[in-house]
Amino acid sequence: MRFIDFVHSVKLDLYRYTAKTSLLLLLKNLVFNPGFKYSFWMRLCAYLSKHSLYKYTIFPISWIMLARYRYRYGIEIPFETQIGGDLYIGHFGGILVHPCAVIGKNFSISPGVVIGQTNRGERKGYPTIGDNVYVAPGAKVIGNINIGNNVAIGANAVVTKDVPDNAVVIGVPGRIVSYEGAEGYLLNPI
């Protein structure tokens, strides 16, 4: 990851929270916004871990900060997780994402969400999630499944099968109820 990519990702994340970007907004959100604060340190750890010069100097400090916010806010999104720009963590608490999950851009995650792995069966593995996806509070997305683009996953849904583009999924087990997508659920999409 290049430094310019890190800066671009942080700007996109900030835009999701504020609908604009500036240094003052960056500083304000780093102090007062738990979701943005976590995503900033997560992205900084990802950037620093890729460069040998920083890996043994600045990276441990950023990793300690990320660990501090992980426990403080109950957000477990490892810096190794591949997440596109525009990450939005609406509220904090009980968020768990597998480090091998692959998540597209313009992703909104809510409290109580688990994006996890299954260890056996035909869906053994972890999810791949497309762009413009909204995951409501308490939802579980588990196993080697593909979630399409522009998908909304409802509160407390348990998704264990592939979901096509523009679907709205609810229930246990998750079932498609419409193809209206995530439009209207994403805050400040780009």
List, for residues 54-71, the tens digit of each pLDDT value: 888 899 999 999 999 999
* Whether residue 1 has pLDDT greater than 80: no
In angstroms, rounded to a whole number, what is the distance separating the alpha carbons of residues 183 and 97? 23
* Whether residue 186 has pLDDT greater than 90: no
- What crossing angle do the helices spanning 34-49 and 3-18 adopt, rounded to 10°? 170
Cis ω before 173 (30° cut-off from 0): yes
* Whether residue 188 has pLDDT greater than 80: no
What CATH number is given for 3-178 in this structure? 2.160.10.10
pLDDT value at residue 89:
93
- Cβ neighbours for 177, distance < 8 A, ≥ 6 positions apart: 168, 169, 170, 171
* Whether residue 97 has pLDDT greater than 90: yes
* Whether residue 189 has pLDDT greater than 80: no
Band the pLDDT of 153: cuts 50, 70, 90. very high
| Average model confidence (pLDDT) across the chain | 92
* Whether residue 190 has pLDDT greater than 80: no
pLDDT value at residue 85:
84
Domain ranges of the chain: 3-178
